[in-house]
Amino acid sequence: MSQCTWVDCNNEATAPQVGKDGNQWANLCEEHTKEMDDNLMDAKGVLRCWVRAQGGAQGMVGKMRASGEIDRMARFMHRLSKKVKR
């Protein structure tokens, strides 16, 4: 039995979440799979769910750091910040 990766959830995980690259980024219970689905059309909601599904901010950063994704995200955010008018 695998535990749901949603922050502070102890339910059994039933729905692995896999990215386009084939890597699993979360494993959710039925309740949190529904919450993700319900928020797909809301940018703030889907980002909140994405972070919580990975165990919260600390869990997400740990996974991103291990994969090198955090460096790519930092470069993207830096380029984006230059385009945004202050």
User: Could you report the per-residue pLDDT of 34-56, keeping only the tens digit for each?
Assistant: 999 999 998 888 889 988 998 88
3 state SS of 55: coil
The two structure tokens encoding residue 49: 């769910």
**Contact criterion met (CB below 8 Å) for 28 and 6:** yes
Residue carrying structure tokens 């959710």: 28
Q: pTM of this prediction?
A: 0.70
CA distances from 2 to 5, 61, 81 (A): 9, 21, 39
Pick from 7-11, 43-47, 55-59, 63-67: least confident: 63-67
The two structure tokens encoding residue 83: 């385009």
Which amino acid appears at position 45 of this protein?
G
